[in-house]
Amino acid sequence: MKKLILTLIFTVALFLQSSAQVKVETRIGELEFTHAFEHGYPTDEAVKKIYDEMDFQRACQAYLWGLPFVSIAEWQKEHEEVFGTDDGDFVIFTTYKDKLGILTANATTPYVFALANLVRTGPLVLELQPGLNAGGISNFWQLNIMDVGAMGPDQCKGGKYLIVPPGNDMPDVEGYFMVRMPSQNFGLGLRALNPDNEKGLAWIRSLKLYPYAERNNPPGTKFIDADNRDWSHVQPRGMAYWERLSDIINNEVVQDHDRVMMAMLKPLGIEKGKPFNPDERQIKILTEAVLVGEAMAKANTFEKRFDDVYYRSETHWKYPMVWHWSHETEYYHQLDEMAAYTYEAIGTNKAMATQIPGIGQAYLGAYKDSEGNWLDGSKSYKLHIPPNPPAKQFWSITLYDVDTRCLINNEQQIADRSSRMDLLTNEDGSVDLYFGPEAPEGKEQNWIPTVPNQGFFAYLRLYAPLEPYFERTWALPDIEKIGN
């Protein structure tokens, strides 16, 4: 009898302990606690679920945070592995195929890029000849440190820039525009804007980049033609994204405003000074976070929810660039704004966000047609460019693939139409452009081919934009679907 009573007591105690556990419904599923939520501890099973969700959420946000960083780091890797560059070597991108690896490149003007690790090279001198150009020097977070060209201190008149690594206390040197980098890696990107393409390329090949220590007898600058090679700096998918992020974190300084994110990355196996060797649990979380993170990036980029994002309220044309050139506001770092932009594009500087008529560039992006539907490569569209586009130099319309955010990859190798081309014009000076799988009869000159079953989007570029753009008095209509 005593044994029976003890057994009953033990059973009741277990029952009471079990019944004291409380299940709470949340958006991540059911979580169980030892007592009412306010008074209880999470069970072992709940702890595991909570930590998995915590790390997954952090990984999704880290994906967005890392987009500008990974984009440039991937470019550096591709420069070295595909083009065989060393620090400071220039790669020239001129053809349609050359630019297929660049996020939302323009298809009109030649590009030249160089990347370098200043810890390896020491201070570097960039020497320019006079010539119409635009570009800038930035860190790997795509923060513009100094404009070069039209809105830079040289103002396209030529000159020398002295690029100094962090921690170097070199005083200002007479005869140089001083560029004091807050990071050990930097990127230099320039576009030659001369309407004569050959003259533009000749200006590019006159550039010089060499160590300041060898300034009295500088070595020759190396130029490499992209030469239609397959390459891409688009942020990779899968675990390759985290591998690139971990690698560049270990080869760069940590910014103060990113220290909290560095703490969030630590449980995911990404930590400065340590190799990236994620375990099975981390790999599962990181693999799914890349997928969800990119979905977030697509929404954040193509359906921007920032203030004053529309050029005019009656159309779907948006500003791709909704950031301040410094990426900072009074109270916060522009995390979402930079994630939105650097998912679809590359490079930031003052000239690209100009507020001065007649200088720099302006950009408008269209992702939907006049009916509010996403642009679809299976359908046909018309875009009416009204007379007198507000561009002192020239304007262009370029189409991009949603998957890569690079030039639309069609068989015809045509991605843009611009005022520098021989286009069919209307009597009033306006231009009608056509996008679709097939060209309307007689309109081939004004047609950009699309790829069926693939989404695309469009950029309007205004080079040296004029007052009607800034005042928003020049009304650019929506892209209109035509036919079925």
Residue 324 CB partners (closer than 8 Å, separation 6+):
334, 353
d(CA 381, CA 93): 30
Residue type, 432: D
d(CA 31, CA 296): 26
pLDDT at 380: 98
Cβ-contact 289, 269 below 8 angstroms: no
Domains in the chain with CATH codes: 2-42 (no CATH), 84-225 (2.60.40.1610), 304-482 (2.60.120.600)
d(CA 122, CA 286): 36
**Helix axes 335-344 and 44-82, enclosed angle (nearest 10):** 50
pLDDT at 325: 85
pLDDT at 13: 45
* H, E, C per residue of the chain: CHHHHHHHHHHHHHHHHHHHCEEEEECCEEEEECCCCCCCCECHHHHHHHHHHHHHHHHHHHHHHHHHHHHHHHHHHHHHHHCCCCCCCEEEECCCCHHHHCCCCCCCCCEEEEEEEHHHHCCEEEEECCCCEEEEEEECCCCEEEEEECCCCCCCCCEEEEEECCCCCCCCCCCCEEEECCCCEEEEEEEECCCCHHHHHHHHCCCEEEEHHHCCCCCCCCEEECCCCCCCCCCCCCHHHHHHHHHHHCCCCCCHHHHHHHHHHHHHCCCCCCCCCCCHHHHHHHHHHHHHHHHHHHHHHHCCCCCCCECCCCCCCECCCCCCCCCECCCCECHHHHHHHHHHCCCCCHHHHCCCCCCCEEEEEECECCCCCECECCCEEEEEECCCCCEEEEEEEEEEECCCCCECCCCCCCCEEECCCCCCCCCCCCEEEEEECCCCCCCHHHEEECCCCCEEEEEEEEEEECHHHHCCCCCCCCCEEECC
Alpha carbons within 13 A on the beta-carbon side of 117: 14
Instruction: Give pTM, 2 decimals.
Output: 0.93
Place of tokens 């790669």: 91
Greatest CA separation found in the chain?
A: 109
d(CA 75, CA 137): 15
pLDDT at 5: 55
Q: What is the mean pLDDT of each run of 10 residues along the chain (484 residues)?
A: 55 49 93 92 96 98 98 97 97 97 95 97 98 94 94 96 95 97 96 94 97 97 97 98 98 92 97 97 98 98 96 97 91 95 93 90 97 98 98 97 98 97 97 97 97 98 97 98 86
Distance of alpha carbon 418 from the chain centroid? 24
pLDDT at 2: 60
Nearest CA among 341, 329, 403 for reference residue 138: 341
